[in-house]
Amino acid sequence: MAKLTIHADSPLQTINRNIYGHFSEHLGRCIYEGIWVGLDSPIPNTEGMRNDVLEALKKLQIPVLRWPGGCFADEYHWKDGVGPAEKRKRMINTHWGGVLENNHFGTHEFLRLCELIGAEPYISGNVGSGTVAEMSEWVEYMTFDGESPMANWRQENGREKPWKLTYFGVGNENWGCGGDMRPEYYADLYRRYACYVRNYGDNKIFKIACGANSADYNWTEVLMREATKYMDGISLHYYTLPTGVWKDKGSATDFNEQDWFNTLEKTLYMDELITRHSAIMNTYDPDKRVALIVDEWGTWYNVEPGTNPGFLYQQNTIRDALVAGVNLNLFHHHSDRVRMANIAQVVNVLQSVILTEGADMLLTPTYHVFDMYKVHQDASYIATEAVSPSYEMDGKQIDQLSASASLNADNQLHISLCNLHHAETLEVQCDIKGHFGRAISGLVITSDTMDAHNTFEEPNAVNTLPFTDYRVENDVLLVTLPARSVVTLCLQ
């Protein structure tokens, strides 16, 4: 049995809704086919964007969407993607598959997508191969309401009033695909570029610096030492690889019990990463003004057999649902510093919430976890203390239980619980301090097998179901979690 103490009598910081952000890159079939099918497509669409995907993303209440990359961001020149589609420059996507990019999906289309699904845009600017002037003019084009060459050009291209743009990333992975830079060099470059990411009118830009790759704590140290006062956020990228080896990351669907355990063990490493990067940030920013932005996270497996290796297309099983639940719980626990996160990626790439094939679309197990967890957005974080049985495999052990809780404006207490074990159920004794709603409801996502996933032939093989396996004894809530399950309870 696991014991969970929930301090509902002492709500803490707000869980920023942007923790539930997503990421869309010009990579494989994420943008083209996944979101954009064009105005003349037989697939039902709104202004070239497929209706089924728009509706699914809207239902998910995505708060913020990152674009255009990723590695693509630092080879993207925004002026190639505005104006009449037939006159836009074509290019080769050298990072992802060597395919032709026709730039039909550009600034106007992305910002319209955000309007259609109710998300705020988060744009990544080009530091690696771009110029200060190019970045400055992009911000001017999008946000300036007045007389200027860029504002006039925006109006000529069909947008009279500027957009509201809050989140802007000054480069992406500049330690790698964004320029192979040293942190000292990037810190100075960041200060220079960020200086020209200006605020126009009442639009206030939240400037995000390129942060570390996984456990590169020196990068965080240098950036915080040299540029803290010039940034509002700093990013962190970490992907879960079952094998830990980039050349052979493991299969998305053909895996055994050891692979299952390894995946969850490596997912839990996110806790150490956030803790240690946050400790460095605390030295230079004790008031926690600067946000930690985990703007790339999720599982990364070998691509599906027979697909373009540069498209990063992978299936999504109940294992990925557990990865999503565990990470979201961790982000809740660190929500005093983590104020945005963006799972990679939204459609057809890596740990997607949606897969498409022609006119068909399906929702993945990860989608259902995000849908179940969206009740935590903008709620007050509730501290929890867990005493969990160990889940052991090959001499290693992790906690079997992952949990988090929040209290919303309607005084509803939501408790999210993950049973990480591949085969064993788990009873959880919940001692709730200060709040005990007698009306209880719940949802669960689980499966009969470790590799269960949705296909276009069986799109609902893994889905959310009502959850009722709980009882109250002597004012203690007892919950029995199925093996490999994610549960969210609502008490009111």
pLDDT tens for each residue of 277-305:
999 999 999 999 999 999 999 999 999 99
Distance of alpha carbon 468 from alpha carbon 444, whole angstroms? 9
- H/E element, 212: strand 206-213
Show the tokens assigned to 50.
Answer: 């497929």
Residue 137 annotated among the catalytic residues of the structure: no
pLDDT of residue 475: 87
Question: Which residues share a beta bridge with 298?
Answer: 239
Per-residue burial over 300-330, b = 16 or more CB atoms within 10 Å of its CB, e = otherwise: bbbbbeeeeebbbbbbbbbbbbbbbbbbbbb
SS3 assignment, position 80: helix
H-state helical runs in 376-434: none
Residue 351 near residue 323 (C-beta atoms within 8 A): yes
Show the tokens assigned to 179.
Answer: 């320029």
* CA neighbor of 403 nearest in space, from 372, 378, 428: 428
Task: Report whether the peptide linkage leading into residue 345 is cis, meaning its omega lies within 30 degrees of zero.
Answer: yes
Cβ-count burial of 99 within 10 angstroms (0-12 exposed, 13-18 middle, 19+ buried)? middle
Distance of alpha carbon 19 from alpha carbon 106, whole angstroms? 25
Show the tokens assigned to 339.
Answer: 């104020």
Pseudo-torsion of CA 217, 219, 225, 228, nearest 10°? -100
- Regions of the chain short of the pLDDT cut 70: 436
For 68, list phi and psi in degrees, rounded to 5: -95, 5
DSSP 310: G
pLDDT of residue 435: 75
Average pLDDT of the chain to the nearest whole number:
97
Catalytic residue among 33, 120, 265, 296: 296
Distance of alpha carbon 367 from alpha carbon 354, whole angstroms? 7
Question: In one letter, which amino acid is 238?
Answer: Y
* CA neighbor of 401 nearest in space, from 481, 299, 462: 481
pLDDT of residue 150: 98
Catalytic residue among 173, 257, 357, 385: 173
Separation of first and last alpha carbons in the chain: 25
pLDDT of residue 401: 98
Distance of alpha carbon 365 from alpha carbon 6, whole angstroms? 27
Pseudo-torsion of CA 481, 483, 485, 490, nearest 10°? 0
Q: Which residues contact 401 (CB under 8 A, 6 or more apart)?
A: 2, 4, 386, 388, 389, 417, 418, 419, 420, 426, 428, 481
Residue 45 near residue 361 (C-beta atoms within 8 A): no
pLDDT of residue 438: 76
Q: What is the pTM of this model?
A: 0.97
- Residue 6 to residues 347, 372, 386, 450, 460: CA-CA distances in angstroms? 35, 20, 9, 30, 33
- H/E element, 193: helix 183-195
In the block, residue with structure tokens 């008490």: 491
DSSP helix, strand, coil percent of the chain (3-state; round to 5): 30, 30, 45
Q: Which residues contact 185 (CB under 8 A, 6 or more apart)?
A: none
Residue 140 annotated among the catalytic residues of the structure: no
Show the tokens assigned to 92.
Answer: 């080769």
